[in-house]
Amino acid sequence: MLLYEAGEALRFDELSARVGSSGILRVMHQMGMISAKGLPKRRASPIQASSSAWVRAPAGGLLRCFKEVGEGVEAGTLLASVTDPFGEVEQPITAPAPGIILGRAMMPVINEGDACYHIAATSIDPLVRMARLAADLEADPMFDEDEIL
């Protein structure tokens, strides 16, 4: 069984669907289940992560995010800040190590200890890799607008 998790709950995300379907087809081909005919071309090499971890909120309040999913970060990069409702007390949330952002909290209200950012640890320059991967995926849309209507 293959389990692919991506995107946001209750939302359609074409890029996540495209990444998942092409990845599953490549795995099936590698296992000898399907032929290579019709497989999407892969231009960017995969990114391998040694581990991943969640960065948690230092306090409760309003979460203001500065980085998005797919962005590469260096250790110490400012990811977000948590403020009180009046914006008088602000606590920064920084990346503990270099990596790629896999996920982030979407709700603006956060409690102390809640997961804010999920970061995959990688030694590869994430900025270059993610830009190339995004360009490859956006160049080959999954659906034609006429098919959706």
Q: What is the pLDDT along the chain (149 residues), one digit of tens a residue?
A: 878 877 777 778 887 888 888 888 888 888 999 888 877 776 666 777 889 999 999 999 999 999 998 888 999 999 999 999 888 999 999 999 989 898 899 999 999 999 999 999 886 665 555 666 666 666 555 555 554 44
Q: How far is CA 2 from CA 12, 20, 21, 133, in A?
A: 20, 10, 11, 22
pTM: 0.70
Residues with Cβ < 8 Å from 13, sequence gap 6 or more? 6, 7
Separation CA 147–CA 141 (nearest Å):
12
Strand, coil or helix: 8 = coil
